[in-house]
Structure 1
Amino acid sequence: MSLLQVKEVTHSYDSQKLFKWKDRSKKVLSDISLSIEEGTCLGLLGTSGAGKSTLGKVILGLARPQYGQILFQGHNIYTADKHTRQKIRRDLQAVFQDSYSSVNPRMTTEQIIAEPLENYEKLTASEQKRTIIELLERVGLSEKDLKKYPHQFSGGQLQRINIARAISLKPKLIVLDESVSSLDMVTQTLILQLLKELKEDFGLSYLFITHDIKAAYTISDTLGVLEKGKLVELYESKDQFFNSEHPVVKELRGSILAEHPRFRSIRTKVSTP
């Protein structure tokens, strides 16, 4: 059984005109089906407006779809009983694009990471502090960062804190929604390497939502492509993606700029007839 199964999901938003008169609904997802196996990363690619973030919200339980099912460890996340939903919330975490808006600016690093631990674990004060320090060290920060506030960190450092919070409960799946897109290239590379290491060390699974092929190529095991709310292609390997003749995929590949030597091998693949 797959860790996550998305079955024929369709979702629409009601669009509105002036004076809040309802217009026809806008379909943002149409008949989406995919799955993620334990310990793997599915990279979900698409241009802006393709429906990637909406699908992420549907999977996280934040936007109930009109049609279809989201099954996590075999349970429908929208119809499961209270106890099962609580377990799903523990095992299904997220890291979003804007690292600053993802945290309370009035909370210290220690308080930010402590939130999920206080909700789900029964730790003594000393155990909790020790756990938080270990998490900080695991993401490249240290005990001296415990009492700092979000404005005292760079975007990359704060994203590390968001990652530490996301892994604090040892979840099964993390939805990463454009989680590195707002970072500079060097920081992106460091965060992607961290995510790869955590995936291997903790046996994590990821849904990596991005418009950046390079980032997806770095971390993903399989790749899917969304276009106008439809899953146009799903690839079991990155080689399949780079050999695909689908026009949407070819357009995405054509957007790669190999400004760094690390990615020139990718560019070579893209340019091969």
Structure 2
Amino acid sequence: MSLLEVNHIELSYPSTKLFKGRKDVKVLKDISFSIEEGTCLGLIGTSGAGKSTLGKAILGIQRPQQGQILFQGNDLYRSDKHTRQKMRRELQVVFQDSYSAVNPRMTAEAIISEPLENYEKLSVSEKRNTVIELLERVGLSEQDLKKYPYQFSGGQLQRINIARAIAVKPKLIVLDESVSSLDMVTQSLILQLLNQLKRDFSLSYLFITHDIKSAFSISDSIGVLEKGELIEQYESKDEFFSSKHPAVQRLRESILAEHPRFRTIRRNDG
């Protein structure tokens, strides 16, 4: 049994009052895939492809109109309250904007403590020691406990968000463009951290991104989303780069060379 199974889900947004009478906008179309325990599925697509909507559906935030999402064999939207609460513990998320994902009035200690307070029964000293261990695990230290979000860089604050996500030892973390707002050096460091945590805790990831290089640095397999459809899925880098699908070819063309000297500018002479 797969850790996560997404079976034929479809999701539409209702048309706005301004365009009354028009059909609902279909955002996700007959999407199916699975994620095995201890693996990462990279989900690549351009802006508007439906990546974040799919992430919200898997997190239980946006209910699809059709299909089924199973997490550890349980239906995410049709299980009883106790089962849903257990699934919420074992299904965490790290968002793109590290600053908007936290309360600016809370210290790093309070931010990381949130899931521990919700799901664990720890004494004050036990909770503090756990938070210190988590900070150290993500490359920060005890000296950062009482700092507020504005006192951290974007990369440091994303480490705090990751520490919060792993605090209750989840099975699956949805990483929604979690490195795209960071500079290249910080991206590399965060991706190294995520890979290490994946190995150490046997974590599974759904890595949502538009960045092909980031996806291949962390993912065991790659899915390509185009206009709400999962058009192809690849088990290797070679498969992706040899694909003849037009959407995949466009994604490949979007990859910039490492050095600006080797980058080309496409002009529209029409």
Where 1:176 maps in the other structure, the secondary structure is: strand
Whichever residue aligns with residue 32 of structure 1, its letter is I
Aligned to 1:10: 10
The aligned runs of 1:102-113 (5 Å cut-off) are 102-113=101-112
What root-mean-square deviation, in Å, do the aligned CA atoms of Structure 1 and Structure 2 show? 1.5
Q: Secondary structure at the match of 1:251?
A: helix
Q: Secondary structure at the match of 1:69?
A: strand
Alignment of 1:165-204 (within 5 A): 165-204=164-203
Contact 1:2–1:35 at 8 Å: present in 2 too?
Answer: yes
Number of the residue aligned with 2:139: 140
Query: Once the two structures are superposed, what CA deviation does each residue of 1:141-184 show, in whole Å capped at 9, x if it has no partner?
Result: 00010001101111100000000000001100000000000000
Query: Which digits, 9 at most, give the CA deviation of each residue in 1:51-105, with x for residues without a partner?
Result: 0000000000000000000100000010001111011000000000000010001
Shift of 1:235: 1.1
For 1:7, the aligned partner's letter is: N
1:85-234 to 2 correspondences below 5 Å: 85-234=84-233
* Corresponding residue SS for 1:86: helix
Pairwise CA distance, 1:254 = 1.1
Q: How many Å apart are 1:245 and its aligned residue?
A: 1.1
Shift of 1:17: 4.2
Runs of 4+ in 1 over 2 A off after TM superposition: 20-24
Report the Cα distance in structure 2 between the residues aligned to 1:34 and 1:148, rounded to whole angstroms: 41
Please state whether the residue corresponding to 1:196 is helix, strand or coil: helix
TM-score (structure 2 length as normaliser): 0.94
1:34-113 matched pairs, under 5 angstroms: 34-113=33-112
Paired letter, 2:16: Q
Instruction: State whether residues 17 and 23 of structure 1, in contact with CA within 8 Å, keep that contact through their aligned partners in structure 2.
Output: no
Is contact 1:29–1:55 with CA below 8 Å preserved after alignment? Answer: yes
1:33 equivalent to 2:65? Answer no
Match of 1:271 in 2: none
Residue type at the aligned position of 1:16: T
Work out whether residues 221 and 238 of structure 1, in 8 Å CA contact, stay in contact via their aligned partners in 2.
Answer: no
TM-score, structure 1 as length reference? 0.93
The Cα offsets for residues 114-146 of structure 1, whole Å up to 9 and x where unpaired, read as 000000001111110000000000000000100
Give structure 1 stretches of 5+ with no counterpart: 268-273
Q: State the distance in 2 between where 1:171 and 1:163 align.
A: 11
Structure 1 residues 18-74: Cα deviation after superposition (integer angstroms, max 9, x where no partner): 3x8464210000000000000000000000000000000000000000000010000
The amino acid across from 1:149 in the alignment is Y
Task: Report if aligned partners of 1:14, 1:22 keep a CA contact under 8 Å in 2.
Answer: no
Paired residue type of 2:8 = E
Q: Does the aligned pair in 2 maintain the 1:16–1:22 contact within 8 Å?
A: no
State the aligned residue count.
262
Displacement after TM superposition at 1:258 (Å): 2.4
> In 2, distance between residues paired with 1:67 and 1:51?
16
Q: Which moved more, 1:233-242 or 1:166-175?
A: 233-242
- My pick for the range that moved more, 241-250 or 207-216, is 241-250
Q: State, as a whole percentage, how many aligned pairs show the same letter.
A: 75
Match of 2:266 in 1: none
- What letter corresponds to residue 56 of structure 1 in structure 2? G
1:171 aligns to what SS in structure 2? coil
Unpaired runs of at least 5, structure 2: 264-270
Secondary structure of 2:139's partner?
coil
Deviation at 1:238? 2.2
